[in-house]
Structure formats: C-alpha cells, structure tokens
Amino acid sequence: MEDTVLVVNCGSSSLKLALFDCQHNKLASALAERLGQNDAFAHVGGLDKAIPLDPGASHDQALNTLVTVFQDEGLMASAPTAVGHRVVHGGETFREAALIDDDVITAIEDCAGLAPLHNPVNLSGIRATLARFPDVPQAAVFDTAFHQTLPKRAYLYAVPEAWYRDWGVRRYGFHGTSHAFMASEAASRLGKTPATISVISAHLGNGCSIAAIRDGISVDTSMGLTPLEGLVMGTRSGDVDPGLFDFLRGKGIAADEVHRVLNQESGLLGLSGQTNDMRSLCELADHGHEPSQTAIDVFCFRLARYIGAMMASLSHLDALVFTGGIGENSARIRAETIHHLKLMGFELSPDLNNHQGEFSDGRIESADSRFPVLVIPTNEELVIAREASRLAGALTPG
C-alpha cells in the first residue's frame, strides 16, 4: 500500500479527518460531530453507513474509531507516513508549521489562554495520534503562522505597551492556511508568481475573516487577539465597542456571559433571531422575514467596509478573492457586497456571478470592473497535508 498522510482537524465538539496519497490526492475523509454529547455520531465520506460512537465519545475515542475504519476499508496501511494537525493559535512562537516534539507541545499549551476553545482540543488530537502512531512524523500547522508577517502598525493595539510585552496582547489573525492557499491559487490563475501576487482574500463561512496579501505575504487581517474580532460571522459578533462590557455589567450581566453570547449567540444568529446558516437566512428574507434581511445587510456592509480598509495595506491589487462556504456558494452575498464598492471600481458580471461554478478560472467581474474578482474553493486540508509531508520529508511534493 502506498504512502499516505493523515490530516487531523479537531474542533470544539467535532473531528475532521482527511487522508491523502503521495501525490496529495484525497483518498478519504471522515467527520465526527457532537463529541462529548450523548448523540455523538460520525461518518466516512464514500461509505453509505453511519459509524457508531459511544455516547459522550471524546476526540481521541472518535479519532481511533475513524482511523480503524480507514484501515479496515483498505484506505490506509497500519500507519500513515506523516500526520498533519490544524492548530488554531501559535502565538508569536510559530511563523510556520513545525514538526511536533515535546517543546512544540509545550508551546501550544502556552498559547491555550489565547484560544481556550481550540488549542486544548487540538492538543487532544495530537496526543491521540502520537499514542497510536508514536514513530510517525507529525506536524502542527498553525492558523496564525501566515499572519506573523503583519507589520507592527497592523498588529499592535493602542493599549499600554506592557500588555503586549508581558501578556502578548496583539492582533494575530486566523484562517491562515486558507488565506495562504488563496494567494497561491490566485497567482496561478492570474499568471503571476506567489511572490508577486497582491490580493484581498475573503474567507466567509461560519467563521469569517479577510486578509490583505501583498507580494505573497499577509500584511493585514480582520481577526485579532482571538477569532472574535472583525467581520460579522455565523454566531460571533465581530467588532463591538469594548465599552459594551461595562454597559452590560451595569445591567447585571457578567463578563463571562457577555463573552459567551458574543461568541455563540451573536452574528447572523443574533441579528436574525433564527439561524446562523446563510442559505436559510436568504430563504427567510425572500419570504419577508425582515430580521433575516437585516442580518444579510449588516453582514454584506461590514464585509464591504473591511474590503475597503484592506486597500490601505496594498500598493496595488491583483484581485479580490471570495472563498469559504458562503464566499464560494452565495452569489447573492457577493453581489450585495460588491454593490457597496462601486466607488472603488469593483463591478460584477451578473451572469458570471450567478454561474461561476461553470467557469474554471473562477472570474466573476464585468468587463468594466477596475479589478478582477475571483471565486476559489479553499482547501485547507491540502495545505496541511503538503506541510506535513514537507516537514516529514517522506512524501513527494505536490
């Protein structure tokens, strides 16, 4: 059986696995959801059957179950050749992916305070695969690493310098693997090299962020110290006035409750009062549900405002790129966002925008648009697989 690389992505209550061959073609994928709950479940892509999980199954239990399915189905040998892990926060320690050892694990633990919902479960996936495959090279690929090129003017908050010096209070940025992939793909489609491409990359899903990429490196982004800052998201508020905490404390609401609501009950869900799913919001809005239309309006306006802000970090713009579940699939959101950017010269072709999946280059701008506008499906798993195989030195570069 040929060499494979396993990609592990642990969310707060979910686990995603992907298996790639030595040419970085995806062989299989698996998803476990509602981990830690009594109704935990899993399935493997391509298999027409549910994978049973014990009630309250943990990340490591789900991982071992799904890896066993990969092996039993003949998709993977007794062990992969390399394993790549998505790790949300690498702080200022990691500017690129790293082979996992005790020092790397300690550094990821040290960053847990910056991503308490993510780094601990990322570590659970790392520990589970290290226990199962102790002799296999494993790599940590950090969401924040791509943004470690931000200049000080972009990453510093205007707060006492000691907060940054002593506690690391600064803007870090996230979705780095997706934004890095967008820059590389846009360069290929526009006939440029990655080192000369300058794009604004909008990753829009349940989590949303935008990045200004100049000459292939990140120079600004919307997310900050945590993934809460920036754009309106599915359940996250994005930017709010910090004075909100004091205001709500005066209403008897504790800071931890405000933090929970801003992360879990705000964004599209909070504005609409119905759902965080953009497809459902559009359907509700079309049937006259005004709060859902308001949620769409706020989402698109805030996105357009951030696109305009990203222009300040670029000397030229080769393209605006949409990606992520919303960015790739919602022609309506793209059109309503671009509508706010006419003064900057952006203009879409309605036909191309509505049928972008039929065109291989992904371009959706009109002939009169000042800048190209592209839709490119993201592939964070592929980035992680490539990084893991590169660091392991075991697979053929793709």
Active site positions, annotated: 143
User: What SS3 class is residue 43?
Assistant: strand
Q: Is 379 annotated as a binding residue?
A: no
Q: Is 35 annotated as a binding residue?
A: no
Distance CA(117)–CA(204), nearest Å, equals 20
Q: Is 308 annotated as a binding residue?
A: no
Q: Is 380 annotated as a binding residue?
A: yes
Tokens of 346: 């952006």
Q: Is 179 annotated as a binding residue?
A: no
Q: Find tokens 């996992």 and name the residue.
A: 100
Q: Is 204 annotated as a binding residue?
A: yes
Nearest to 398 by CA among 45, 145, 26, 30: 26
DSSP 313: G
Q: How far is CA 368 from CA 189, 250, 357, in A?
A: 20, 52, 21
Tokens of 197: 């491409």
Q: Is 230 annotated as a binding residue?
A: no
Q: Which residues, at least 6 apart from 62, have a Cβ–Cβ distance to it below 8 Å?
A: 15, 32, 35, 40, 42, 53
Strand segments, DSSP code E, in the chain are 4-10, 15-21, 26-33, 41-44, 50-51, 82-87, 98-99, 138-142, 199-204, 208-214, 217-221, 319-323, 373-375
**Which H or E element spans position 5?**
strand 4-10
Q: Is 9 annotated as a binding residue?
A: yes
Q: Is 73 annotated as a binding residue?
A: no
Q: Tell me which amino acid residue 146 is.
A: F
User: What SS3 class is residue 211?
Assistant: strand
User: What SS3 class is residue 142?
Assistant: strand
Tokens of 340: 């706010």
Q: Is 74 annotated as a binding residue?
A: no
Distance CA(22)–CA(193), nearest Å, equals 25
Distance CA(186)–CA(244), nearest Å, equals 39
Q: Is 328 annotated as a binding residue?
A: yes
Distance CA(282)–CA(25), nearest Å, equals 34
Which residues participate in the annotated binding site for Mg(2+)? Answer: 9, 380
Which residues participate in the annotated binding site? Answer: 9, 16, 86, 203-207, 277-279, 325-329, 380
Which residues participate in the annotated binding site for substrate? Answer: 86
Which residues participate in the annotated binding site for ATP? Answer: 16, 203-207, 277-279, 325-329
